[in-house]
């Protein structure tokens, strides 16, 4: 179920943000590093120096903006 969560999250995040597995600590499963494109062609990005540390809990159903995901 966790792999499905990552796929859903990747589809919602800007494509320049990077998701990496984290050391499976209690409450932290992945690290998301935020980047911004620095050129008009969107081929080069630089880090914003910000990271997110999501926890993908296990659930049978997920709601995003009030719509169930299946």
Q: Would you kindly state where each structural domain of the chain is located, as residue ranges?
A: 2-55
Cβ partners under 8 Å of residue 33, min gap 6: 17, 18, 20, 47, 50, 51
pLDDT of residue 70: 52
Give the pLDDT mean for 3-28.
Answer: 84
pLDDT one-digit tens code per residue, 36-53: 999 999 999 999 999 998
Which H or E run contains 35?
Answer: strand 28-37
Cβ contact 58:2 at 8 Å:
yes
The burial class, CB within 10 Å (0-12 / 13-18 / 19+), for 15 is exposed
């Amino acid at each position: 179920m966790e792999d499905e969560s990552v796929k859903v999250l990747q589809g919602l995040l800007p494509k320049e943000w990077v998701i990496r597995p984290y050391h499976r600590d209690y409450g932290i499963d992945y690290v998301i590093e935020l980047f911004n494109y620095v050129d008009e062609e969107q081929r080069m990005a630089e880090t914003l120096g910000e990271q997110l540390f999501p926890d993908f809990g296990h659930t049978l159903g997920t709601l995003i903006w009030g719509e169930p995901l299946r």
